[in-house]
Amino acid sequence: MIDKQKKIIYFDHAATTPLSKKAFESMIPFFMDDFGNASSLHVLGRKSAFAVTEARAKIASLIGAKTNEIYFCSGGTESCNWAIKGFLDKGTHIITSSIEHPSIMAPLKELEQKGIKVTYLPVYKNGIVKPSDLEKAITKDTALISIMFANNEIGTIQPIKELTAIANKHKIPFHTDAVQAIGSMAINVKDLNVDMLSLSAHKFYGPKGIGALYIKGGIRPNKLIHGGSQERTMRGGTSNVAAIVGCCVALEEALNNLDDNSKHIRVLRNTFIDRVLCEIEHCYLNGDRDRRLDNNANFVFDFVEGESILMMLDLNGIAVSSGSACSSGSLSPSHVLLSLGVPIESAHGSIRFSFGIGNTMDHINYAVDKLKETINKLREMSPLFLQVKGDSKFV
């Protein structure tokens, strides 16, 4: 990290991805040449408006939506906040999962204080919701169900189609936070039968600061951002034209190369998981091994703390993320890992590796070697780790 020339091995694609060259190039004209406000009537405005309209239509077709069902906004957090806050009135009930992203959890916590009832469905050891639990949780007051498509920490994929079938039977609107999944999986909103879906461009090699909420025709959430008449009056604010164009190009590129990319990343990820589980003692993979995003591996390493693993890997030029309390600035470790039943002291030792198209098998092998060194070094330092005749245990 001190040596700026040093090449970073980036294993944090669930946090964000580098912008694709194609997406970047598509954005450039809209910063200085075609800079018009898409709401302006003159030629520059019309040029921008045309670009936004085209991007909207393309993105819609890529996820099986109609053009007028895509609403651009500032990203995943706004999109999720909108779906939640736009839908709930006092006295109603919402069902969600216990492993949602903070952009769902935080608005729900606020609404709970205003009297909204929230049911958090359990996810069990594999990190997956049981559809029968959803069926049981529905009440006559249930106004919305929001369950993420794939988890940001452990990558587990929820059975959305089974869940929407239940929601549909009870005529309850269904939102899914698909921020981690879009661009890594083929997703069709009609096929899934979701009413709302959140996406964010920077997770699929698009620019930061742009996302969208898919809202099925006939569904009318309240506005979250009040202002001008952009987004068919549903979301005020000057259209972020360059970002919208970049989002569209990145999504198209990701989905065009989906099979090749998925295969490449899956091979790397599987090799990584196999080597780590085989070569490092007292370590566990969090979440279902198969029903997870291709790019995700999340481990607990007993007897050591996650942030120190992260920092030591960083010193070796490897960028990862941790679910430990110390890296989040809060006192308790990841709510996702605790929901899986991971003991609190182990949850402090969790590390997420999320792979991407730029990674290679050399990266994987180098990282496993460095990870082994790191874990050994930190365990030697740890008062929890005692090696007695080859046995290791908590003391």
Partner 1 sequence: MYNEKVIKEFSDPQNVGELKNPNGVGTVGNASCGDIMKLFLRIENDIIVDVSFKTFGCAAAIATASTATRLIKGVTIEDALKVTNQHVVDELGGLPSQKLHCSVLAHEAIVAAIEDYKNNKINDK
Contacting range for partner 1; rule: CB under 8 A; set: 9-17, 36-44, 130-138, 303-311: 303-311
- Out of 28, 41, 361, 381, the residue judged to bind partner 1 by CB under 8 A: 381
The one segment of 202-210, 237-245, 352-360, 382-390 that binds partner 1 by CB under 8 A? 382-390
Could you say whether residue 312 binds partner 1 (CB under 8 A)?
A: yes
Contact status, residue 48 vs residue 34, Cβ threshold 8 Å: yes
Residue whose token pair is 């030792």: 349
Among 44, 57, 138, 311, binds partner 1 (CB under 8 A): 311
* β-bridge partners, 174: 145
> Is the Cβ of residue 137 or residue 319 nearer to partner 1 in the bound state?
319
Structure tokens at 137: 């949780």
- Do residues 232 and 95 make contact, with C-beta atoms less than 8 angstroms apart? no
Of the candidate residues 127, 221, 246, 333, the single one contacting partner 1 (CB under 8 A): 333
8 forms part of the interface with partner 1 (CB under 8 A):
no
> Measured from the CB atom, is 15 or 225 closer to partner 1?
15
Strands 211-215 and 196-200: antiparallel
Please tell me whether residue 307 binds partner 1 under the rule CB under 8 A: yes
Q: Per the structure block, which two tokens stand in for 356? A: 């991407």
Q: In the set 54, 133, 135, 345, which binds partner 1 (CB under 8 A)?
A: 345
Q: How far is the CB of 103 from partner 1 (least distance, A)?
A: 22
Which lies closer to partner 1 via its Cβ, residue 2 or residue 32?
Answer: 2
Q: CB 5 → partner 1: shortest distance, Å?
A: 17
Q: Is 173 helix (H, G, I), strand (E, B) or coil?
A: coil
Contacts of 262 (CB under 8 A, 6+ apart): 184, 185, 294
DSSP 393: E
Is 248 annotated in the active site? no
Q: Which residue among 80, 278, 283, 326 is the active-site one?
A: 326
Q: How far apart are CA 369 and CA 166, in angstroms?
A: 46
Which residue in 225, 204, 258 sits closest to 74, CA to CA?
225
Provide the phi-psi class of 231: left if phi over 0, else alpha when psi is between -120 and 50, else beta: left
Our finding on whether 294 is near partner 1 (CB under 8 A) is no
Coil, strand or helix at 298: strand
- Binding test (CB under 8 A) with partner 1, winner from 348, 355, 371, 375: 348
Instruction: Tell me whether residue 168 is exposed, middle or buried, using C-beta atoms within 10 angstroms of its C-beta: 0 to 12, 13 to 18, 19 or more.
Output: middle
- 188, 274, 380, 393: residue in contact with partner 1 (rule CB under 8 A): 380
How many other C-beta atoms lie within 10 A of the C-beta of residue 48? 24
231 in contact with partner 1 (CB under 8 A): no
Report the SS3 class of residue 352.
strand
Hey, which residues between 52 and 81 contact partner 1 (CB under 8 A)?
none
Shortest CB 342 distance to partner 1, Å: 12
Closer CB to partner 1, residue 12 or residue 69? 12
**Sheet containing strand 283-285, strands side by side:** 283-285, 296-301, 350-354, 321-322
Region binding partner 1 by CB under 8 A among candidate stretches 59-67, 129-137, 207-215, 300-308: 300-308
Q: What percent of the residues of the chain are helix, what percent strand, and what percent coil, each to the nearest 5?
A: 40, 15, 40
Between 106 and 326, CB nearer to partner 1? 326
What is the nearest approach in angstroms of partner 1 to the Cβ of residue 299? 17
Binding site for partner 1 (CB under 8 A): 1-2, 303-305, 307-308, 311-312, 315, 324-327, 329, 331, 333, 344-345, 348, 380-384
Which positions are annotated as active-site residues? 326
